[in-house]
Amino acid sequence: MQPIIRAEHLGKTYRSGKIEVPALQDATFTVDPGEFVSIVGPSGSGKSTLFYLLGGLTRATSGKMIIDGVDFATLNDGERTEMRKSKIGFIFQKFNLLPTLTARQNIEIAYGISGRSEPLDKGHLAHLTDMLGITDRLDHRPSELSGGQQQRVAIARALVTRPAIILADEPTGNLDTASSDAVLEMLQRSNREFKQTVLMITHNPEAASIADRILRMRDGKITGIEAGLGRVVHATI
Ligand code: ADP
Ligand code: MG
């Protein structure tokens, strides 16, 4: 089986004038299709930098990031954007919903931007929003939703295109326990029921324990990769 993600001696140094920050150094790992991997490490250890590289949101300064057999470095900006739109769903700590649009419009516009040729599958969307418990919130704007509800809308937005890979950067970082569990349960179901590959960055050891594998980072380096517990999440909302 070909890995869906392959990082080879991947590195990123931020440069500004004479200042250089080696945010990620010599990261080598693979992820198989359908795996759930947690990425843990203290603040400043390079987790978000790795997330941006995985999503093709920034360019590596050394090494390779290969997604589904394609090396990001061989793509021009337009091709990278297409790759991202066709294969990856993003979930951020701060939700990043468009404030003037309703929840439903946020999801629909993301689907439109993804450039899928087939129309949005309303049945799939209804299934997602039902699983996420936000069906009755779809005509509200983000300011009228709780943080947990906003993150569940953001998850529906990421999943509606059925991406092969879901990248989540601290998705439960701003949430209470019940909302966190709802988010984690949905990520786990996406992984187990829809066979999507999930990479989740988290500070929280409890959250990390739902993964198949845990990748540990410190000071811009991967310090270990170990088996996760595969803990099953049952949310109460
Ligand atoms: P984490 O997500 O684990 O907190 P980051 O990847 O955000 O870590 O940051 C890793 C290191 O890179 C930190 O020292 C951070 O200050 C630095 N860094 C992150 N983004 C930038 C940037 N755009 N310019 C310069 N330095 C950055
Ligand atoms: Mg971060």
The proportion of the chain whose per-residue pLDDT surpasses 70, expressed as a percent, equals 100
- Label residue 85 by pLDDT band (50, 70, 90): very high
Is residue 78 in some structural domain?
A: yes
Tell me: the pLDDT tens digits for 127-169? 999 999 999 999 999 999 999 999 999 999 999 999 999 999 9
List the one residue out of 54, 67, 53 whose CA is nearest residue 5: 67
End-to-end CA distance of the chain: 37
Tell me: the pLDDT tens digits for 198-219? 999 998 999 999 999 999 999 9
- Ligand 2 mean position to 135 CA, how many Å? 30
Ligand number nearest CA of 24 is: 1
Considering the entire predicted model, what is its pTM?
0.95
Give the residue-averaged pLDDT of 184-192: 95
Number of compact structural domains in the chain: 1
Diameter of the chain measured on Cα atoms: 54
Residue nearest to atom 18 of ligand 1 (CA): 23
Is residue 150 in some structural domain?
A: no
Spatial CB neighbours of 2, under 8 Å, sequence gap ≥ 6: 68, 69
Is residue 105 in some structural domain?
A: no
- Ligand 1 mean position to 235 CA, how many Å? 32
Residue nearest to atom 20 of ligand 1 (CA): 49
Ligand 1 interacting residues, C-beta cut-off 6 A: 14, 21, 23, 41, 43-49
User: Which pLDDT belongs to residue 236?
Assistant: 81
- Ligand 1 mean position to 44 CA, how many Å? 6
- Residue 122, exposed/middle/buried by CB under 10 A (0-12, 13-18, 19+)? exposed
The rounded distance, in Å, linking the Cα atoms of 164 and 4 is 9
Is residue 223 in some structural domain?
A: yes
Q: Are 52 and 46 in contact (CB under 8 A)?
A: no
Residue nearest to atom 11 of ligand 1 (CA): 23
User: Which pLDDT belongs to residue 1?
Assistant: 82
User: Does the structure show a pLDDT above 90 at 48?
Assistant: yes
User: Does the structure show a pLDDT above 90 at 15?
Assistant: yes
Is residue 213 in some structural domain?
A: yes
Look over the chain and give the mean of its residue pLDDT values, rounded to a whole number.
Answer: 95
* H or E element, residue 142: none
Q: Are 225 and 215 in contact (CB under 8 A)?
A: yes
- Ligand 1 mean position to 147 CA, how many Å? 25
Give the residue-averaged pLDDT of 164-188: 94
The rounded distance, in Å, linking the Cα atoms of 202 and 220 is 16
User: Does the structure show a pLDDT above 80 at 237?
Assistant: no
Is residue 175 in some structural domain?
A: yes
Is residue 85 in some structural domain?
A: yes
Is residue 122 in some structural domain?
A: no
Domain enclosing residue 206, as ranges = 5-97+162-227
Tell me: the pLDDT tens digits for 91-129? 999 999 999 999 999 999 999 999 999 999 999 999 999
The rounded distance, in Å, linking the Cα atoms of 184 and 180 is 6
User: Ligand 1: which of 12, 24, 49 to mutate, judged by most atoms within 8 Å of the beta carbon?
Assistant: 49
Nearest-atom index, ligand 1, CA of 52: 6
Residue written as token pair 């950067």 = 169
The proportion of the chain whose per-residue pLDDT surpasses 90, expressed as a percent, equals 95
CATH assignment at residue 35: 3.40.50.300
